[in-house]
Amino acid sequence: MLSRHYLRSKVLQMLYSCRIEDKDRATAKREFEYNIGRLNELGVLQAALMPRMLEVGAKVIEEGRKKFRPSAEEKTPNTKFLRNEFLRRMADNFELKQDTEKWGGCWDTHEDLVREAFIDFRRTKTYCDYLSHPDTDWEQEKDLAINLFRYLMNREALVAAMAERSLLWEDDFEQIAQYNFMMLKTLNEDSFDEAMQWPLMYDKRVEKDEADMEFARQLLDESLACRDEAESMIKSHLQGWEFDRVAQMDILLINMAVAEFTCCPSIPEKVTVDEYIELSKEFSTDRSKLFINGILDKLVLELRSKGRIKKSGRGLLTDPSLSNTNEE
């Protein structure tokens, strides 16, 4: 489920960590695998909140009934939310229950936060509109669940509780929530049941996931292996600029691009260039895209002349000038 763009960003973060902490290749690769694997934990923690809302909601409603002087609404509460078909199927899904037992214990110790979230959600227009319709079809049940997920992912207290599990998750939280949101929208009435294979952020059982992860492993390993060579190439193409003044992130991005040019024959050069320009916008300075694009123009020509770039497939660059971005 993790995109290659996102995996590139995780490789970049690991390379930066290696630069700061002077890690060897074996350590870097182990930590990378561990960090990616823990994204499954974060994804399950996010998803597990939804069936947990059913459990806590049932407790809150029952407590209202048992009050010494319950209101009319508390005496005869509308329990439609507790019967939401989409949420019930999440609660009954075998794999999600297993993964929640493995990773989701966080909500056992933060039930007070889930309780507050349910009480506040009951006041929302989304919840009230849902209860006002006695009969709802699958899509309406699903819409309520997806809106609930969006609501929960914007609760600062819940986000903070999850972030406590890993220092890295503060940066990852929004992206993983977006992946979960997109995944939930794809679930349909015919295939979503207790036996459905619950989607993970990185699932070894899924061929595409494993292929993308192997790409990331190879990119990390090759980037570490060619670091000195890449830095030497950068220095040879600097004009009127000292290497020590180049942003560290720019050096790492160019390092990764060199690795991808040479070790990924199926990825067109232009795709690689565009990817690292986009990453520079996310992780480096405002002018980094111009610098990186200009250096990569020159490095592609150099690597081609040495026979180091061997590409196959459609969409490959034939023009020596990768783009005109550096002329802006």
pLDDT of residue 313: 60
pLDDT of residue 103: 86
Helix (H) or strand (E) segment spanning residue 235: helix 227-236
Do 120 and 20 lie in a common domain? yes
| Domain coverage including residue 179 | 4-186
Give the Cα-Cα-Cα angle 167, 178, 152 (nearest 5 degrees). 75
Do 232 and 146 lie in a common domain? no
pLDDT of residue 104: 66
Bigger pLDDT: 275 vs 106: 275
Residue 12 has pLDDT above 90, yes or no: yes
Q: Is residue 321 part of a domain?
A: no
Token pair, residue 219, equals 């990119």
Do 155 and 230 lie in a common domain? no
Percent of the chain with pLDDT strictly greater than 90? 85
Grouping H, G, I as helix, E, B as strand and the rest as coil, residue 285 is coil
Do 165 and 251 lie in a common domain? no
Do 15 and 150 lie in a common domain? yes
Smallest CA-to-CA distance from 75 within 85, 84, 64 is with: 64
Domain boundary, last residue among 127, 157, 186: 186
Residue 134 has pLDDT above 70, yes or no: yes
pLDDT of residue 94: 97
Do 171 and 25 lie in a common domain? yes
Q: Is residue 214 part of a domain?
A: no
Q: For position 264, which CATH number holds?
A: 1.10.940.10
Q: Is residue 28 part of a domain?
A: yes
pLDDT of residue 108: 87
Q: Is residue 218 part of a domain?
A: no
pLDDT of residue 297: 94
Token pair, residue 54, equals 């059913």
Task: Tell me the average pLDDT of the chain.
Answer: 92
Q: What is the mean pLDDT of residues 42-60?
A: 96
Q: What is the mean pLDDT of residues 8-32?
A: 95
Lowest-confidence segment of 207-216, 295-304, 318-327 by average pLDDT: 318-327
Do 108 and 240 lie in a common domain? no
Name the band, by pLDDT with cuts 50, 70 and 90, for residue 167: confident
pLDDT of residue 314: 56
The total number of structural domains in the chain stands at: 2
In whole angstroms, what is the distance from residue 311 CA to residue 271 CA? 12
Q: Is residue 239 part of a domain?
A: yes
Instruction: Say which amino acid occupies 106.
Output: C
Do 253 and 170 lie in a common domain? no
Q: What is the mean pLDDT of residues 23-37?
A: 95
Name the band, by pLDDT with cuts 50, 70 and 90, for residue 239: confident
Residue 321 has pLDDT above 80, yes or no: no
Percent of the chain with pLDDT strictly greater than 70? 95
Q: Is residue 212 part of a domain?
A: no
In whole angstroms, what is the distance from residue 275 CA to residue 257 CA? 9
Do 161 and 74 lie in a common domain? yes
- Judged on CB neighbours under 10 Å (0-12, 13-18, 19+), 189 is middle
